[in-house]
């Protein structure tokens, strides 16, 4: 038993799991973001005692609603689960009875309107509901969706309109009806709008602006930039709709029971959002600009690579990001970006990021500390030398 008495542990060392530096941003596959010590301590504190979950939810949801300037809030175990639960709530609301009491045929009759431009890998959470997804428009800019397209797609079976919210410049296709116009149609027809804004903070104002404009519910991932627990999600919205969410989600029986959210996550996300709304976001943006500018200066004389600043980043967030671009090298058996990613991953410490096309890699300051940024810069310098030497060697051979 003695070996289990140590409370200060390095679990990754115990397990032989490699720690990495995350230079990609809040990617879930590497653990999203890091919680603050204060949030970790809130979670530990929550874990130590039993409480009645319903009472804890009531208190936390009340506070989350207040600090995010919403009528109501709900903590789930992820943005994807939030999408499923808000969809289920919309179906229950449509029939005006508890979701668990509905026959499959009643669900199958329901429709959720979605722009083709908004289809994405996370919409499995909607597909699994068993409703009909009614697609409108095209995912391009030749013929953008019109208000009439949306009007005509709404029928007596429409339970909700799904909207993917992202600032221009992110990875989303064009072609959808503007958010404001979507809300106008929805309001006129009395249809709730459910917004997926999982990664759409920053800007912090999105926590209240999207619902403030009239969305019934807006979904955020707790484990991305909010820096809550990885397995947490936040839904904010109008009380009338959110009451249906509460009646459908954990700890009720029915579909919500599959999406258990622990007291540690409930408290952890509350703590994280508290910190997020009081953080100096403009100072952070200035810091990020400075880091990207420094990265550019570190390689300004390089013969084989250059640093490009992109804004907004690929998630559409108003934060600068760097792309380290290598001059096209001919005769390589693989894209240079794959090679550089592998060299970064194989280094010590191991660095994770993602490719920006065939000859570039992203360096996202959002998940890096100053010390880590320095390590990443130095490692790229080493890789630069290595590739430069090889290229010269290659030319000599010709």
Ligand X SMILES: *Cc1c(COP(=O)(O)O)cnc(C)c1O
The sheet with strand 360-363 has its strands ordered as 305-310, 321-326, 360-363
Pick the stretch among 34-42, 191-199, 264-272, 389-397 that binds ligand X (CB under 6 A): 191-199
The sheet with strand 72-76 has its strands ordered as 72-76, 233-237, 217-221, 193-196, 158-164, 111-115, 132-136
Q: Does 322 bind ligand X (CB under 6 A)?
A: no
| Among the listed residues 220, 228, 319, the one whose alpha carbon sits nearest the alpha carbon of residue 274 | 228
In the complex, the smallest distance separating the C-beta of residue 273 from ligand X, rounded to whole angstroms, is: 14
Which is closer to ligand X, CB of 294 or CB of 314?
Answer: 314
DSSP state of 177: P
- Asked if 337 and 359 count as a contact pair (C-beta separation under 8 A), the reply is yes
Which is closer to ligand X, CB of 194 or CB of 198?
Answer: 198
Three-state DSSP class for 161? strand
Q: Which residue from 115, 194, 196, 238 is in contact with ligand X, where contact means CB under 6 A?
A: 196
Distance of alpha carbon 356 from alpha carbon 41, whole angstroms: 37
Q: Does 80 bind ligand X (CB under 6 A)?
A: yes
In the complex, the smallest distance separating the C-beta of residue 215 from ligand X, rounded to whole angstroms, is: 15
DSSP state of 355: B
Q: Which residue from 90, 198, 307, 319 is in contact with ligand X, where contact means CB under 6 A?
A: 198
Which is closer to ligand X, CB of 170 or CB of 347?
Answer: 170
Q: Does 43 bind ligand X (CB under 6 A)?
A: no
Distance of alpha carbon 267 from alpha carbon 276, whole angstroms: 14
Cα-based torsion angle of the residue sequence 273, 278, 281, 286 in order, rounded to the nearest 10 degrees: -130
Chain mean position to CA 134: 25
Phi, psi (rounded to 5 degrees) for 317: -85, 140
Distance of alpha carbon 317 from alpha carbon 310, whole angstroms: 11
Count of residues making up the chain: 398
Buried/exposed 48-61: b ≥16 CB within 10 Å, e otherwise: eeeeeeeebbeebb
Task: Report the half-sphere exposure of 174 (CA within 13 A, side-chain side).
Answer: 7
Q: Does 79 bind ligand X (CB under 6 A)?
A: yes
Which is closer to ligand X, CB of 195 or CB of 307?
Answer: 195
In the complex, the smallest distance separating the C-beta of residue 226 from ligand X, rounded to whole angstroms, is: 10
Pick the stretch among 67-75, 78-86, 245-253, 356-364 that binds ligand X (CB under 6 A): 78-86
Q: Which residue from 25, 78, 312, 316 is in contact with ligand X, where contact means CB under 6 A?
A: 78
In the complex, the smallest distance separating the C-beta of residue 334 from ligand X, rounded to whole angstroms, is: 28
Binders of ligand X among 215-254, rule CB under 6 A? 221, 223, 233
Chain mean position to CA 217: 16
In the complex, the smallest distance separating the C-beta of residue 285 from ligand X, rounded to whole angstroms, is: 20
Q: Does 256 bind ligand X (CB under 6 A)?
A: no
Q: Does 206 bind ligand X (CB under 6 A)?
A: no
Pick the stretch among 33-41, 74-82, 130-138, 205-213 that binds ligand X (CB under 6 A): 74-82
Pick the stretch among 104-112, 193-201, 260-268, 275-283 that binds ligand X (CB under 6 A): 193-201
Binders of ligand X among 350-389, rule CB under 6 A? none
Q: Does 209 bind ligand X (CB under 6 A)?
A: no
Q: Which residue from 30, 40, 122, 275 is in contact with ligand X, where contact means CB under 6 A?
A: 122
In the complex, the smallest distance separating the C-beta of residue 222 from ligand X, rounded to whole angstroms, is: 6
Which is closer to ligand X, CB of 80 or CB of 344?
Answer: 80
Name the residues that contact ligand X, by CB under 6 A.
Answer: 28, 78-80, 122, 196, 198-199, 221, 223, 233
């Amino acid at each position: 038993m003695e070996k289990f008495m140590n409370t200060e542990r390095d679990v990754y060392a115990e397990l032989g799991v490699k720690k990495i530096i995350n230079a990609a941003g809040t990617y879930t596959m590497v653990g999203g973001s890091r919680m603050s010590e204060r949030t970790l301590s809130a979670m530990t504190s929550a874990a130590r005692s039993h409480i009645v979950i319903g009472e804890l939810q009531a208190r936390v949801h009340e506070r989350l609603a207040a600090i995010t300037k919403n009528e109501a809030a709900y903590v789930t175990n992820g943005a994807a689960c939030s999408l499923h639960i808000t969809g289920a709530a919309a179906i229950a609301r449509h029939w005006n009875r508890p979701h668990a009491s509905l026959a499959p045929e009643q669900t199958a009759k329901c429709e959720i309107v979605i722009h083709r431009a908004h289809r994405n890998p996370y919409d499995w959470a909607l597909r699994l509901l068993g409703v009909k997804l009614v697609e409108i428009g095209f995912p391009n800019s030749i013929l953008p969706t019109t208000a009439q397209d949306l009007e005509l797609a709404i029928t007596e079976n429409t339970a909700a309109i799904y909207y993917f919210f992202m600032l221009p410049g992110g990875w989303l296709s064009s072609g959808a009806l503007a958010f404001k116009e979507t809300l106008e149609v929805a309001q006129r027809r009395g249809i709730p709008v459910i917004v997926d804004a999982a990664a759409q903070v920053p800007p912090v104002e999105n926590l209240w602006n999207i619902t403030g404009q009239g969305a019934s519910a807006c979904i955020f991932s707790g484990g991305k930039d909010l820096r809550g627990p990885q397995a947490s999600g936040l839904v904010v919205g109008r009380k009338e709709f959110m009451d249906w969410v509460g009646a459908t989600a954990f700890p009720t029986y029915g579909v919500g029971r599959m999406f258990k959210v622990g007291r540690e996550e409930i408290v952890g996300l509350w703590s994280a959002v508290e910190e997020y709304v009081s953080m100096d976001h403009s100072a952070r943006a200035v810091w990020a600009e400075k880091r990207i500018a420094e990265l550019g200066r570190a390689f300004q004389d390089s013969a084989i690579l250059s640093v490009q600043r992109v804004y907004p980043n690929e998630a559409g967030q108003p934060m600068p990001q760097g792309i380290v671009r290598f001059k096209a090298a001919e005769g390589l058996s693989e894209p240079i970006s794959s090679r550089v990613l592998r060299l970064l991953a194989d280094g010590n410490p191991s660095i994770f990021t993602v490719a920006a096309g065939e000859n570039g890699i992203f360096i996202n300051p959002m998940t890096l500390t100053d010390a880590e940024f320095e390590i990443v810069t130095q490692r790229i310098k080493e890789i630069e030398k290595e590739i430069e030497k090889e290229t010269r060697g290659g030319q000599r051979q010709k």
